[in-house]
């Protein structure tokens, strides 16, 4: 059964552009995979805790060597990793905050980046363990970055997320940007509508698929 993991990272309410875009992605996904399961994690409304010393220490210790306290410290991270491992597709709603991701999304990233579970260190270098998955990131940005060389170097959002998911072994990472959200109402609406059309095109052209 196909599984989709939805990550909403906007602290804003349902009026957030990225939340509308992830909802549209889910609608299209359900049409494509009628027998599929959707797993939803709202890290905008309920941000994950940033890893503390106890959690990081537990990460580095073998499961059977952890104390009761260490096992408890890593339990939440394990639940996030389990969701990610179970998914065939991942869609992340990511508003751009100060040229990068929200603090909630960064905390999620730090909690699912687990040596031995989502990647591994080997003599010839790190190896991502999350193969056979696709990741889709829908963003909302106040300005225009994707096709503007003058400010493209300030976009640490796409480069960071692409590199991170590639590191975990997800080779197919696609971005849909709703840009110009801070310009004026007309520009913002046009940017969001353009993003919706791009999402529809991803499904229409078969880009969203199960990776064998």
Asked if residue 82 is part of any domain, the answer here is yes
Asked if residue 212 is part of any domain, the answer here is no
Q: How many separate domains does the chain show?
A: 1
Asked if residue 87 is part of any domain, the answer here is yes
Q: Residue 198: exposed, middle, or buried by beta-carbon count in 10 A (0-12, 13-18, 19+)?
A: middle
What tens digit of pLDDT does each residue of 178-196 get? 999 999 999 999 999 999 9
CATH number of the domain enclosing 15 = 3.40.50.360
pLDDT for residue 149 is more than 90: no
Question: How many Cβ atoms sit within 10 Å of the Cβ of residue 146?
Answer: 13
What are the residues whose beta carbons fall under 8 Å from the beta carbon of 65, sequence distance 6 or more? none
Asked if residue 151 is part of any domain, the answer here is yes
Asked if residue 51 is part of any domain, the answer here is yes
The domain containing residue 15 runs over which residues? 3-204
Q: Provide the 3-class DSSP secondary structure of residue 1.
A: coil
Asked if residue 209 is part of any domain, the answer here is no
What tens digit of pLDDT does each residue of 164-175 get? 999 999 999 999
CB 127 within 8 A of CB 169: yes
| Separation of alpha carbons 180 and 190, rounded Å | 8
Q: How confident is the model at residue 31 (pLDDT cuts 50, 70, 90)?
A: very high
pLDDT for residue 54 is more than 80: yes
pLDDT for residue 212 is more than 80: no
Angle at 27 between CA 179 and CA 174, to 5 degrees: 45
């Amino acid at each position: 059964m196909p599984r989709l993991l939805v990550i909403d990272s906007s602290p804003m309410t349902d009026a957030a552009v990225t939340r509308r875009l992830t909802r549209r992605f889910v609608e299209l996904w359900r049409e494509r995979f009628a027998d599929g399961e959707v797993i939803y994690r709202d890290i905008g409304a309920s941000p994950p805790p940033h890893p503390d010393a106890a959690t990081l220490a537990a990460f580095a210790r073998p499961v059977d060597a952890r104390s009761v306290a260490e096992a408890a410290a890593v339990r939440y991270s394990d639940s996030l990793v389990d969701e990610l491992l179970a998914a065939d597709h991942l869609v992340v709603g990511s508003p751009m905050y100060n040229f990068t991701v929200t603090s909630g999304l960064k905390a999620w990233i730090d909690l699912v980046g687990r040596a031995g579970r989502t990647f591994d260190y080997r003599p010839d270098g790190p190896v991502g363990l999350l193969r056979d998955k696709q990741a889709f990131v829908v963003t909302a940005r106040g300005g225009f970055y994707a096709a503007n060389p003058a400010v493209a170097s300030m976009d640490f959002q796409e480069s960071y997320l692409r590199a991170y998911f590639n590191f975990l072994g997800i080779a197919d990472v696609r971005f849909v940007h709703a840009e110009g959200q801070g310009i004026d109402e007309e520009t913002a609406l046009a940017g969001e509508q353009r993003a919706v059309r791009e999402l529809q095109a991803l499904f229409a052209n078969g880009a969203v698929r199960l990776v064998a």
